[in-house]
């Protein structure tokens, strides 16, 4: 389902490939929409895309990852594909992230 959603928003989107460039662009995007710069501790990012006209963002990584935030004693699992609609200080319809609680 998320692959189909990505395909529909790919037209007119900024698409970046490669782990280091994707990490840089994802941080720039989070800074641009006034969210914390590093809530996505992902490895081996394959692609990041952002469609400015619809606010749709996607991140694709090679394999799913579970990350443990020791400061808050919380584990968060990230799917291989993460999607969301973003706006100023907001992230809506987030898919691919599972957690009991997520605080910013």
Tens of pLDDT, residues 7-47:
888 888 999 999 999 989 988 998 999 988 765 788 889 99
Ranges of H-type helices in the chain? 2-9, 19-32
pLDDT tops 90 at residue 2: no
Show the domain range for 29: 2-98
pLDDT > 90 in the chain, percent:
47
How far apart, in whole angstroms, are the C-alpha atoms of residue 37 and residue 27? 5
Q: Residue 64 — very low, low, confident or very high, per pLDDT cuts 50/70/90?
A: very high
Q: What is the mean pLDDT of the chain?
A: 87
Q: Given the structure tokens 């004693």, which residue do they identify?
A: 73
Note whether residue 42 is domain-resident: yes
**How many domains are there within the chain?**
1
Note whether residue 103 is domain-resident: no
* Total number of residues shown for the chain: 104
Please tell me the pTM assigned to this model: 0.85
**Residue 39 pLDDT:** 59
Tens of pLDDT, residues 78-94:
899 999 999 999 989 99
């Amino acid at each position: 389902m998320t692959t189909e959603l990505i395909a529909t928003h790919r037209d007119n989107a900024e698409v970046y490939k490669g782990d280091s460039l994707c990490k840089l662009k994802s941080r720039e995007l989070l800074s641009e929409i006034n969210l914390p710069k590093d809530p996505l501790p992902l490895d081996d990012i394959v692609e990041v895309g952002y469609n400015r006209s619809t606010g749709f963002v996607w991140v694709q990584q090679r394999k799913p990852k579970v990350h443990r935030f020791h400061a808050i004693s919380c584990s968060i699992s990230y799917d291989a594909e993460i999607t969301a609609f973003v706006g100023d200080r907001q992230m809506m319809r987030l898919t691919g992230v599972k957690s009991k609680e997520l605080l910013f």
